[in-house]
Amino acid sequence: MSSLGKSIRSELRGDTAIWLITIVLALVSILAVYSSTGSMAFRVKNGNTEFFLMKHMMIVTVSFIIMYIMYKIPYENYKKWAPFFLALSIPMLIYTLAQGEDINDARRWIAVPFIDLTFQTSDFAKLALITYIASAIGSKQEYIDDFATAFRSILFPILLICCLIALADLSSAIILFVTCFIMMFVGRVNWKFLALLVFSGIVLFAILIIISQFVPDFSRVDTWTSRLNEFLLNSEGGYQVQQSKIAIASGEWIGVGPGNSTQRNLLPSPFADFIYAIITEEYGLIGAVIMIIMFLWLFARVTILVKKSEKAFGAMLAVGFATCLTVQAFVNIAVSVHLLPVTGVTMPLVSMGGTSFIFASMMIGIILSVSRHIESIHD
């Protein structure tokens, strides 16, 4: 191995496959975003197609720098910070619901002063809750089956954070709820408590719907209902899904080639919610399958880390973030192929987006921090 290779290897320790997966997804993201933002560039930037490419490349660069910082921080430190992160996320979510930027009839963002950017607070809340749940499960392994001393401190934060997110972004709340459930299952929480968590979630969701009947602006029930009706009653899907399926069918085996998509001009969000359709159109079934393999490979590598980890917190942290990223990716794919109602969920590490890309990179950075620690022990 050359001196350069040794230097890189010494700096980028941990699971090599996870580093590779992250780099591949980032490269695919740059190509797909550049192709899918062409029509938007003509609408809002007078045909300057390089504007969104440069903006996205800057976001990717910043995200990788932040990911590297998170990777270098010993993962045990996140356990100390978990309660603070969780406590901070609650007022942030409440403020977003009350005073956040109204974009597409949803208050999910707050404006960042002086730099003309928006920040999606639910992304921070997801990171905070997963870290807290990993800490709670890891520190209560000896009495995890006791409701008063262990499970109660896990149940209430999950319900509170998911409830606050659901008011403006139901799909993200469900993904986070499923992630927490899987973490608890892997953490050997008693099945009775798992059932109680699911039951409590259903009851809380029903309460949100009931309140919305009397307070129309309380949640986005009308949007949820219309999308669900469209999915159940219209076998062809709505306009977005129809265009997505045309894009996927047009790709056939090897695709129409990079930059040759036609459906990018017709899909409302080809660079975000339906980027998988554009990737499939341009790179065909082969490209579509590779994307699925990347996320399955990521999850598989993390399961190996879980088996090697000597500390429950590290294992729970890695499995929580990997589950969140993988579930989100497959929800995005399922929407594109009309297996789920339209949700507005982006593909992590691929779709264009500031905070979503940054926080997905932060999750990868923490996973790599766990991996680096495990590798150092087994060297």
Q: 3-state secondary structure string, 159-193?
A: HHHHHHHHCCCHHHHHHHHHHHHHHHHHCCCCHHH
pLDDT tens-place string over residues 51-102? 888 999 999 999 999 999 999 999 999 999 999 999 999 999 998 888 777 6
Block residue for tokens 């341009």 = 282
Residue scoring higher pLDDT (18 or 226): 18
Per-residue confidence (pLDDT) for residue 45, from 0 to 100: 79
- Cβ atoms of 284 and 248 within 8 Å: the answer is no
Task: Give whole-number Cα distances, 264 to 35, 250, 288, in Å.
Answer: 8, 12, 16
Residue 15 belongs to some domain of the structure = yes
Whole-model pTM over 0.85 = yes
Per-residue confidence (pLDDT) for residue 84, from 0 to 100: 95
Tokens read off for 289: 């399958």
Q: Which of 167, 148, 69 is nearest to 364 (CA)?
A: 69
Residue 4 belongs to some domain of the structure = no
Tokens read off for 161: 């954070």
Dihedral sign of CA atoms 56, 71, 287, 334 in order: negative
Per-residue confidence (pLDDT) for residue 115, from 0 to 100: 60
| Mean pLDDT value across residues 136-146 | 68
**Beta strands in 202-335, from DSSP E residues, in sequence order:** none
Q: Which of 337, 365, 332, 336 is nearest to 348 (CA)?
A: 332
Helix (H, G, I), strand (E, B) or coil at 13: coil
Residue 49 belongs to some domain of the structure = yes
Contacts of 219 by beta carbon, 8 Å cutoff, 6+ apart: 166, 167, 168, 208, 209, 211, 212
Residue scoring higher pLDDT (375 or 65): 65
User: How far, in Å, CA of 126 to CA of 357, rounded?
Assistant: 13
Whether 46 shows a pLDDT value over 90: the answer reads: no
Residue 2 belongs to some domain of the structure = no
pLDDT band at 256 (very low <50, low <70, confident <90, very high): very high
Q: Which of 171, 196, 195 is nearest to 346 (CA)?
A: 171
User: How far, in Å, CA of 19 to CA of 2, rounded?
Assistant: 19
Number of domains composing the chain: 1
pLDDT band at 373 (very low <50, low <70, confident <90, very high): confident
Whether 246 shows a pLDDT value over 90: the answer reads: yes
pLDDT tens-place string over residues 277-303? 999 999 999 999 999 999 999 999 999
| Mean pLDDT value across residues 234-255 | 89
| Mean pLDDT value across residues 103-111 | 70
Tokens read off for 275: 């980027």
**Enclosing domain of residue 138:** 11-378
User: How far, in Å, CA of 222 to CA of 213, rounded?
Assistant: 10
Whether 379 shows a pLDDT value over 60: the answer reads: no
Q: Which of 249, 370, 254, 262 is nearest to 316 (CA)?
A: 370
Contacts of 65 by beta carbon, 8 Å cutoff, 6+ apart: none
Residue 5 belongs to some domain of the structure = no
Block residue for tokens 């987006």 = 353
Rounded percentage of the chain residues whose pLDDT exceeds 90: 50
The amino acid that residue 348 corresponds to is P
Whether 274 shows a pLDDT value over 60: the answer reads: yes
Per-residue confidence (pLDDT) for residue 14, from 0 to 100: 76
pLDDT band at 105 (very low <50, low <70, confident <90, very high): low
| Mean pLDDT value across residues 119-133 | 93
Whether 312 shows a pLDDT value over 80: the answer reads: yes
User: Torsions phi, psi of 145, nearest 5?
Assistant: -90, 0
Which secondary structure element, helix H or strand E, spans residue 118, and what is its range? strand 117-120
Residue 79 belongs to some domain of the structure = yes
User: How far, in Å, CA of 118 to CA of 232, rounded?
Assistant: 34
